[in-house]
């Protein structure tokens, strides 16, 4: 391995570096894609451009999404509600 340098990911930031260079972090998220922030070496957060975040938002409520999945024949997606509570309208 002599002469070879270890490649460091350019999209991973230590929290202290992310705080100190926040403007650059945001600029890179917008131009290069998601930027990962670590705390004590462990993944903690991902900074993404607002446009990318908006594209990731669900288009329908979770219940409606689950009902739209191709469940096996005879599978019933149901939940028991207490007598004093009505199930929400999922559609």
pLDDT of residue 22: 97
Q: What are phi and psi of 51, to 5 degrees?
A: -60, -40
pLDDT, one tens digit per residue, over 26-83 is 999 999 999 999 999 999 999 999 999 988 877 788 878 888 888 888 887 677 777 7
Sheet with 42-47: list strands edge to edge. Answer: 12-14, 35-39, 42-47
What whole-number distance in Å separates Cα of residue 15 and Cα of residue 32? Answer: 19
> Within 10 Å of residue 4's Cβ, how many Cβ atoms?
6
As given in the structure block, the two tokens for residue 38 are 């670590």
pLDDT, one tens digit per residue, over 4-21 is 555 456 899 999 999 999
Q: Supply the pTM of this predicted model.
A: 0.57
pLDDT of residue 44: 97
């Amino acid at each position: 391995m002599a002469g070879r340098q270890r490649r460091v990911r350019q999209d991973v930031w230590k929290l202290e570096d992310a705080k100190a260079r926040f403007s650059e972090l945001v600029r890179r998220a917008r131009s290069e894609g998601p930027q990962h922030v670590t705390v004590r070496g462990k993944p903690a957060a991902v900074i993404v451009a607002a446009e990318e975040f908006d594209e990731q938002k669900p288009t329908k409520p979770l219940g409606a999404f689950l009902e739209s999945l191709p469940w096996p024949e005879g599978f019933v997606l149901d939940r028991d509600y207490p007598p004093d509570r009505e199930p929400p309208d999922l559609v």
